[in-house]
Amino acid sequence: IFVSITGNGCAHASECDFQDLLQSKILHRGNNTHMWEMFSVHLGSATVGQLRSRIVAYHGECWGAQPIDRQDDWELGDAGAKWEKVLCHATQERSPSTLYVNNLTSTGADGMTYSTPAAIAYQVNSKALGAVSRFRPGIYLMDYPGTALVSGVVGRNFQ
């Protein structure tokens, strides 16, 4: 599980909030300490095997020298437009040397109203659930994913 901590849509810097959260989670791991072993690892120095079944938090650019193809149009207030960006990126051809990162998250105005991350997530995640079998390999970052969507993304690894 990747936890991306950003200040997208916030009027303040999130760096202090991230450090506070990081320290809090490391100090209060509960019974599942193995899940938190890689919480603050620099992703450029970790292997997929080391990250598997772990909770990993990152902030900013932490991918090392890996070439990245990213879709992160987080200021779209129109869930339909956001979904088109997500689907296009999720289904495009892949290059073996590139890491693909697809953000399903968004917040913003659609010309008439302001859409919260939860409102966008509800619509985009519903469509993602129906299309997850078409997603190509990559990292998919989501706000408020439900159990079915998480299971679908994880299950996609075994198809």
Token pair recorded at residue 119? 């409102």
Q: What is the mean pLDDT of the segment spanning 112-118?
A: 85
pLDDT tens sequence across 43-78: 666 776 776 666 666 655 555 666 888 998 888 889
pLDDT of residue 97: 82
- Rounded distance, CA 150 to CA 2, Å? 12
pLDDT of residue 136: 92
The answer to whether 58 and 4 are in contact (CB under 8 A) is yes
pLDDT of residue 147: 87
Q: How many alpha carbons lie under 13 Å from residue 95 in its C-beta half-sphere?
A: 9
State the burial class of residue 142 (Cβ atoms within 10 Å of its Cβ: 0-12, 13-18, 19+). Answer: buried
Q: With a cut of 50, say whether residue 11 has pLDDT above it.
A: no
